[in-house]
Amino acid sequence: MVAPGRTQHVAPLRSTRRTAPGGDAGTAACALDLIQAGKITTYGTLGHLLTSQPHQHVYEGDRPSPAQEAHATIRDTLRRSWEQARQDVEDWFQTARTDPATARQILGILTHYSRTREAFDRERRFMIGYGIPDSFLPEWHDRARPAP
């Protein structure tokens, strides 16, 4: 019981003992409902953050300039082109997993400027690691050599 002229203080929403899972969340939700209903008042430096605030208009920003719109259009076109190129290469490699001629074609392109066996083998290992059967790919000594 509180003596006349004295104020009763309510304990904070934390407990020193363990509660059931979700217990603290339930307590906090109940407190927020009571605050929203105006049945309890918030205090402290952060108390105002628990109350509803009136709607405030937010500035939507400036419209893009014609140059910015053109830049965005070019950027979007390049992004779509890049994604299409990536998909085309992925489809090409997917075909190479089942078609030896396509696998040899890709290896030929990747190793066109390879002057050493190490460079050739590096590209060949890359393709094998990407799921192309090694039996589809020629070895260094079996590769087609351009006529002099």
Going from N- to C-terminal start, the domains of the chain cover 66-142
pLDDT, the chain, mean: 83
Measure the CA–CA gap between 33 and 132, rounded to whole angstroms.
Answer: 62
Q: What is the pLDDT of residue 22?
A: 57
Q: What is the pLDDT of residue 2?
A: 47
Tokens representing 11 are 């304990």
CA angle, corner 118, sides to 103 and 123, nearest 5? 25
Segment 83-94 shows an average pLDDT of 96
9-41 as b/e: b if 16+ CB within 10 A: eeeeeeeeeeeeeeeeeeeeeeeeeebeeeeee
Determine if residue 81 is left, alpha or beta; phi over 0 gives left, psi from -120 to 50 gives alpha, anything else beta.
alpha
Q: What is the pLDDT of residue 147?
A: 42
Measure the CA–CA gap between 116 and 121, rounded to whole angstroms.
Answer: 9
DSSP 15-74: -SS---TTHHHHHHHHHHHHHHHTSS---STTGGGGS----------PPPPHHHHHHHHH
Q: What is the pLDDT of residue 55?
A: 84
* pLDDT, tens only, 5-52: 554 445 555 544 555 555 677 788 888 888 888 788 888 888 877 877
Asked if the model's pLDDT at residue 137 lies above 80, the reply is: yes
Provide, rounded to the nearest whole percent, the portion of the chain with pLDDT above 70: 80
Which pTM was predicted?
0.51
Q: What is the pLDDT of residue 148?
A: 42
Measure the CA–CA gap between 84 and 125, rounded to whole angstroms.
Answer: 26
Q: Indicate the burial class of 103 (C-beta count within 10 angstroms; 0-12, 13-18, 19 or more).
A: buried
Q: What is the pLDDT of residue 17?
A: 54
Segment 47-64 shows an average pLDDT of 84
